Amino acid sequence: MEIDVWADVVCPWCLLGKRRFEAALERFEDRDDVTVRWRSFELDPAAPREHETDAATRLAEKYGMSLEEVHQRHAQLEAMGAEEGAEFHFDRVRGGNTFDAHRLVQLAADRGLQDAVIERIMRANFADGEAIGDPATLERLAVEAGLDAHEAREVLLTDRYGEAVREDERLAASVGITGVPCFVVDRRLAVSGAQPPDVLLQLLREGRARAA
Could you read off the pLDDT tens digit of each residue along the chain, which spans 212 residues?
A: 999 999 999 999 999 999 999 999 999 999 999 999 999 999 999 999 998 888 899 989 988 999 999 999 999 999 999 999 999 999 999 989 999 999 999 999 999 999 999 999 999 999 999 999 999 999 999 999 999 999 999 999 999 999 999 999 999 999 999 999 999 999 999 999 999 999 999 999 999 999 87
The pTM of this model reads 0.95
Residue 29, pLDDT score = 96
Nearest to 47 by CA among 131, 123, 126, 127: 131
The Cα–Cα gap between 32 and 24 comes to: 13
* Strand pairing category for 35-40 and 2-7: parallel
Phi, psi for residue 35 in degrees, rounded to 5: -115, 125
pLDDT value at residue 52: 84
Domains and CATH numbers, the chain: 2-211 (3.40.30.10)
What is the distance between the alpha carbons of residues 75 and 11, in angstroms, rounded to a whole number? 15
